[in-house]
Amino acid sequence: MNIANKITVSRFGLTLVFVVLAQFDSNAFFRWAALLVAITAALSDFLDGYLARKHKLITDFGKLMDPLADKILVAAAFFVLCKKSVIPDWFAIIIVTREFAVTGLRQIAASKNIIIQADKFGKIKTVLQFTYLGIIALFWTIKGNTQVIHNKNLSTFINILMLVTAYITLTSGYRYFTNNKNLFNKNI
């Protein structure tokens, strides 16, 4: 297993550590530790992609596992923050549904020996999700909750970012299905 794939696999473990630490959120130390682990996991996504491209370490394993590791990290973060009433339920449902629908499509493709890589739109979606999660998780880490954001400009920015992220997430998912409808239609 090459270094890029090892970093990808480490994201699964980091996600588990994040979830465990976040359960002890009444203590600021654990919130900060959870945030640090989540940031490390998110940054590992950029590092493994950089290393894979730079050193020509792109493999079918990486093409499948890298997006899966991202989806599990994002789903875990959204579920944790939803459970803590930090983000709205509807938003978490949109994000997680899209993530697993695209994963299902990738599974159908993989069963036919076709690899569906993340496109640029999907990468923008990932950056937006990580940015939103980073901002909201930082506020949660500092305050212990985000239910009352007293700064109107910050609240407006976070809500706009949430809506843009939801829109790009849905649009990206739609593009995966329309660009690969031949795989999808053959299996209905």
Average pLDDT for 44-53: 91
24 vs 107: which has the higher pLDDT:
24
150 pLDDT band, cuts 50/70/90, is low
Query: What is the DSSP track for 154-177?
Result: HHHHHHHHHHHHHHHHHHHHHHHH
The CA distance from 166 to 183, in Å, is 25
| Side-chain-side CA neighbours of residue 64 (13 Å) | 14
Q: Show the domain range for 40.
A: 3-186
What does pLDDT average to over the chain? 88
- Looking at residue 182, what is its pLDDT? 84
**pLDDT at position 142 over 90:** no
Cβ-contact 31, 130 below 8 angstroms: no
9 pLDDT band, cuts 50/70/90, is very high
126 vs 162: which has the higher pLDDT:
162
Average pLDDT for 156-168: 93
The CA distance from 108 to 180, in Å, is 10
- Looking at residue 186, what is its pLDDT? 59
The CA distance from 148 to 31, in Å, is 18
Domain count of the chain? Answer: 1
- Looking at residue 121, what is its pLDDT? 86
113 torsion bin: left (phi>0), alpha (psi -120 to 50), beta (else): left
The CATH number of whichever domain residue 32 belongs to comes to 1.20.120.1760
Average pLDDT for 147-166: 82
State pTM to two decimals: 0.80
Largest CA distance in the chain: 52
Among the residue ranges 14-28, 44-58, 100-114, 159-173, the one predicted with the least confidence is 100-114
**pLDDT at position 146 over 60:** no
